[in-house]
């Protein structure tokens, strides 16, 4: 049975020769993302801004979430999100915090109840998330992302060398900042689900990076006289088929999630799709080329035969 091959086994792309182009592109991407974040800001969701949470049980055995969303969207209450909650006839409604204090929140709740009318069997709970809670959630989200990046730095440092850890963290920061820039550009809702997506992106990206780093370390010890640019190209190309195959299969699943998952998880899906693409790119075109400037250690394994056509240093 013939194996499915997307990238030919004899692929020899000069990634290192194009590293300055990749560095320039990444620098522009990061600067543009930072500029969008500062200038345009993020479209923060209820989780961070505060708002109203209403849990309802409908008269129908299967809630018509689309119709309910359309009805509440006409009330002019700002950001309104709905999702099934545990059971088919239970819906969780989130409404952004209204201007005007507690009285304005109560008026919004009354407007929702009037609009839904007889479609609701029971209002199970009505809660208001204040701005203080939103601020605490923002701080917790920032700490979670920074802690994840710090833990990844320590892990890669101990598994390889400090040079690999620094390169991995730079690539991760590139992925995180560009994802934030994407949300700022298209004003997609940025909520706790997005933070979860960013943490997932970090995990996916470091997995790709570690696979390539493993091959780099192996080749550093094996080919002691091979120029680093050739060695890095050899390492990237030899793992390219695995990297591309993993990314494509992941994107197939995420594409289905985006198309069929509904409005509630659309932002989450967009973040993951972008994260897979940018994470794959940074592992290949950013993390490994950065090692060229960090003076990686070649190891102590005795020199073995070099591949045909390899140039000798010196």
> What band does 63 get if pLDDT is binned at 50, 70 and 90?
confident
The residue among 129, 150, 166 that closes a domain is 129
Domain of 34 in residue numbering reads as: 16-42+134-291
Residues 67 and 162 in one domain: no
d(CA 37, CA 180): 7
For residue 9, being part of any structural domain is answered with no
What is the rounded average pLDDT for all residues in the chain?
82
Specify whether the CB–CB gap between 163 and 288 falls below 8 A.
no
Specify whether the CB–CB gap between 308 and 45 falls below 8 A.
no
pTM: 0.75
Q: Does residue 203 register a pLDDT over 90?
A: no
Residues 246 and 277 in one domain: yes
User: What CATH number is given to the structural domain containing 118?
Assistant: 3.30.70.3400
d(CA 178, CA 205): 13
Residues 243 and 277 in one domain: yes
Q: Does residue 112 register a pLDDT over 60?
A: yes
Residues 74 and 88 in one domain: yes
Write the DSSP string, 9-38.
TT----TGGGHHHHHHHHHHHHHHHHHHHH
Q: Quote the tokens at residue 18.
A: 């194009």
> What band does 306 get if pLDDT is binned at 50, 70 and 90?
very low
Total Cβ atoms within 10 A of residue 28:
10
Q: If residue 261 lies in a helix (H) or strand (E), which one and from where to where?
A: none
The count of domains in the chain is: 2
d(CA 284, CA 205): 10
> In the prediction, which pLDDT does 25 show?
95
> In the prediction, which pLDDT does 304 show?
41
Residues 160 and 264 in one domain: yes
> What band does 301 get if pLDDT is binned at 50, 70 and 90?
very low
For residue 2, being part of any structural domain is answered with no
Write the DSSP string, 136-171.
HHHHHHHHHHHHHHHHHHHHHHHHS-HHHHHHHHHH
Residues 225 and 241 in one domain: yes
Total Cβ atoms within 10 A of residue 4:
7
Handedness of CA 67, 69, 72, 75 (dihedral sign): negative
> In the prediction, which pLDDT does 303 show?
41
> In the prediction, which pLDDT does 114 show?
85
Mean per-residue pLDDT for 81-110?
81
For residue 142, being part of any structural domain is answered with yes
Residues 123 and 139 in one domain: no
Q: Quote the tokens at residue 224.
A: 């002691």
> In the prediction, which pLDDT does 31 show?
96
Q: Does residue 197 register a pLDDT over 70?
A: yes
Mean per-residue pLDDT for 273-291?
91
Specify whether the CB–CB gap between 311 and 255 falls below 8 A.
no
> In the prediction, which pLDDT does 3 show?
58
User: What CATH number is given to the structural domain containing 227?
Assistant: 1.20.1640.10
DSSP, res 82: E
Q: Does residue 36 register a pLDDT over 90?
A: yes
3-state secondary structure of 309: coil
For residue 141, being part of any structural domain is answered with yes
Which stretch of 21-30, 54-63, 276-285 has the lowest confidence by average pLDDT? 54-63
């Amino acid at each position: 049975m013939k194996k499915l091959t997307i990238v030919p086994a004899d692929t020899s792309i000069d990634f290192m020769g194009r590293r300055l182009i990749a560095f320039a592109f990444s620098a522009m991407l990061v600067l543009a993302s930072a500029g969008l974040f500062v200038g345009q800001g993020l479209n923060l969701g209820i989780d961070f801004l505060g708002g109203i949470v209403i849990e309802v049980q409908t008269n129908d055995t299967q809630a018509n979430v689309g119709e309910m969303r359309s009805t509440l969207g006409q009330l002019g209450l700002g950001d309104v999100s709905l999702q099934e909650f545990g059971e088919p006839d239970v819906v969780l409604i989130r409404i952004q915090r209204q201007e005007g204090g507690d009285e304005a929140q109560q008026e919004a709740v009354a407007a929702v109840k009037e609009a839904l009318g007889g479609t609701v069997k029971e209002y199970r709970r009505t809660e208001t998330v204040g701005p203080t809670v939103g601020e605490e959630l923002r701080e917790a989200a920032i700490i979670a992302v920074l802690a994840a990046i710090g833990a990844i730095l320590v892990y890669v440092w101990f598994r390889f060398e400090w040079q690999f850890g620094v390169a991995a963290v730079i690539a991760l920061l590139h992925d995180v900042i560009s994802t934030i820039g994407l949300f700022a550009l298209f004003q997609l809702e940025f909520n706790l689900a997005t933070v979860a997506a960013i943490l997932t992106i970090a995990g996916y990206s470091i997995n790709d990076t570690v696979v390539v780093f493993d091959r780099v370390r192996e080749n550093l010890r094996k080919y002691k006289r091979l120029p680093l640019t050739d060695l890095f190209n050899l390492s990237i190309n030899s793992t390219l088929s695995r990297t591309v195959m993993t990314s494509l299969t992941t994107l197939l699943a995420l594409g289905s999630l985006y198309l069929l998952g509904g409005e509630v998880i659309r932002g989450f899906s967009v973040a993951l799709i972008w994260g897979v693409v940018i994470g794959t790119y940074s592992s290949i075109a950013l993390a490994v080329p950065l090692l060229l400037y960090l003076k990686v250690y070649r190891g102590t394994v005795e020199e073995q035969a070099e591949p045909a056509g390899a140039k000798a240093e010196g």
